[in-house]
Amino acid sequence: MAVRRLEPCVQLPLDEKTLKEVVTSARDWALMHGACMRSKTNYNEDILQFAPFALLPSVFPRKEFERAVNIQPILNELMHKVAHDHEFLTSSLKSTIEVDEFTGNMFKIYETVYNEGFAQQEVSLGLLRSDYMVHSYSDSVVKQVEINTIASSFGAISSKLTAFNRYVLRELGHEEKLENLPPNSALAGLCGGMIKAWKIYGNPKAVIMIVVEDVTYNICDQRFHEFYIRENHPDVGVLRRRYSDLKDQAKLTDNKALFVDGHEVAVVYYRTAYEPAQYGGAEGWKTRLLIERSKAIKCPSIHYHLAGTKKVQQALAHPGCLERFITDSAKVEAIREIFTGLYSLDFDEHGDRAVDMAIANPERYVLKPQREGGGNNVYGQKIREVVEKMKSSKERTAWILMERIAPPVQKNYIVRPGQNNLPEPTDVVSELGIFGVVIGDAEKILVNEQVGHMLRTKLSTVDEGGVAAGLGALDSPYLADL
């Protein structure tokens, strides 16, 4: 089946003179508005470079954008309920935690705090991002790639990108097209979620703590949250700490208040702790347990983190499973429509069938372990090799098999730092992320909102398009009635 092709929002190619001028202006715009990152090859904390960007906003079907926006509160509710269903988390992760050490470590912390009674803090903050690609082969409906419950990134920079794309379209003389760029207030919405959680904690002297990696490349996207809060809510203190610093600095009081460097912490917002290396061994796991035991509101709490694993995503796609969490059949139907084929590799008839499917038609699937942050999945012929090798070992139960989504292709210019020549129009595909905020406890949901979006675009020939990994480019959706 042929992949669908979309017409770009502006006729391409642009003439060379126009292209040169607009690329130069766009680069400077990005630099001067902080659509930037630190260089991985020439790391220097004093210097920023612009993040790779798509020059034109990529065309996205309006109806599908709206579908993704409208379903976010339903997904927030679903994830919240999943995170609070002990039996479901335990049974869906049972086989995985036996073989996957990372998920196993998280689960041990979860069990410990569950048995202790989630300390004094029942409330969790979820800042989620549900990712989608339009599937060319199924009436062009958006299909969920995954949902992130930890360190959902690019809300901040993406909020700037709408203005960026407006600027570029204006420079190209297309004022009349601006109405097709939806407004994006992801930064305000995500920070609003943190402020609401801070208020729920109820101590005006307590701070929001942003926990980061030892070395941060995606610095603007993190700092914008911090600066937004300090600018708009100067009464709320923000503390920024490296995860590795917390092993010495974080303490619990007798009543389970979390103190870091003499500050009581109301909200812990992780921009790290989603991959094994970020824990740095046993000490790092102790830190995570200490924070989970505290009465600070965690984003995410350990049960939210587990609810965002790929294994849970796959379990939710199992027939009849959504009904456990969502009673309204119209909502269940709406969720089911955005799911694509997700298969477990457990040792049972379903898992055996998935193994056969993967070996017979590897190009139809993506093979995923329980990891976040990009670069861990297996694609194409390599799937056959990997599955063949592990099909008789327990290791296979740590993986899931997912139907490969075939997004529509269009032409755009991708601009990257360090590029000497003018870009050529290239075939690209886009992935949409929708941000959600959910706050609540096991009994009730207190806040449930859709707050904004991000679009990242990659060459149609590459498997993954992480912007931080240098493969994808920042973009905004240009909505079209297709």
Annotated catalytic residue, options 104, 280, 341, 373: 373
CB 36 within 8 A of CB 30: yes
Segment contacting ligand ADP by CB under 6 A, of 67-75, 215-223, 247-255, 397-405: 397-405
For the chain, what is the total number of helices (H) and then of strands (E)? 14, 22
- Applying CB under 6 A, which of residues 364, 464, 468, 482 lies at the interface with ligand ADP? 464
Query: What is the SS3 assignment for 15?
Result: coil
Report the residue count for the chain: 482
Please say if 373 is a catalytic residue: yes
Q: How does DSSP assign 146-158, residue by residue?
A: EEE-SS---HHHH
430-449 residues near ligand ADP, rule: CB under 6 A: 431
Q: Write b or e for each residue in 397-436: b if 16 or more Cβ atoms lie within 10 A of its Cβ, otherwise e.
A: bbbbbbbbbbbbbbbbbbbebeeeeebebeebbbbbbbbb
Count of residues that interact with ligand ADP, criterion CB under 6 A? 16
Question: If binding is defined by CB under 6 A, does position 275 make contact with ligand ADP?
Answer: no
Question: If binding is defined by CB under 6 A, does position 372 make contact with ligand ADP?
Answer: yes
Question: If binding is defined by CB under 6 A, does position 475 make contact with ligand ADP?
Answer: no
- Applying CB under 6 A, which of residues 39, 90, 138, 376 lies at the interface with ligand ADP? 376
Query: Given the complex with ligand ADP, which of 37 and 405 has the nearer CB atom?
Result: 405
At 62, list the tokens: 């309006």
User: Hey, what amino acid is at 151?
Assistant: A
Closest residue to ligand ADP, judged by C-beta, is: 405
The CA-based dihedral angle spanning residues 57, 26, 47, 226, taken in that order and rounded to the nearest 10 degrees: -50
CB of 358 vs ligand ADP, minimal distance in Å = 13
The CA-based dihedral angle spanning residues 415, 420, 425, 426, taken in that order and rounded to the nearest 10 degrees: -80
CB of 461 vs ligand ADP, minimal distance in Å = 12
Question: If binding is defined by CB under 6 A, does position 271 make contact with ligand ADP?
Answer: no
CB of 431 vs ligand ADP, minimal distance in Å = 5
Please say if 146 is a catalytic residue: yes
Can the peptide bond before residue 407 be classed as cis, meaning omega within 30 degrees of 0?
no
Please say if 115 is a catalytic residue: no
Rounded CA-CA distance 364/276 in Å is: 29
Question: If binding is defined by CB under 6 A, does position 373 make contact with ligand ADP?
Answer: yes
CB 460 within 8 A of CB 408: no
Annotated catalytic residue, options 105, 130, 148, 476: 148
Please say if 148 is a catalytic residue: yes
Rounded CA-CA distance 114/89 in Å is: 12
Please say if 189 is a catalytic residue: no
- Applying CB under 6 A, which of residues 49, 92, 159, 377 lies at the interface with ligand ADP? 377
Question: If binding is defined by CB under 6 A, does position 145 make contact with ligand ADP?
Answer: yes
Question: If binding is defined by CB under 6 A, does position 374 make contact with ligand ADP?
Answer: yes
93-112 residues near ligand ADP, rule: CB under 6 A: none
Rounded CA-CA distance 474/457 in Å is: 6
For binding to ligand ADP (CB under 6 A), which residues are involved? 131, 145-146, 366, 368, 372-374, 376-377, 402, 404-405, 431, 464-465
Active site residues: 129, 146, 148, 153, 310, 368, 372-373, 456
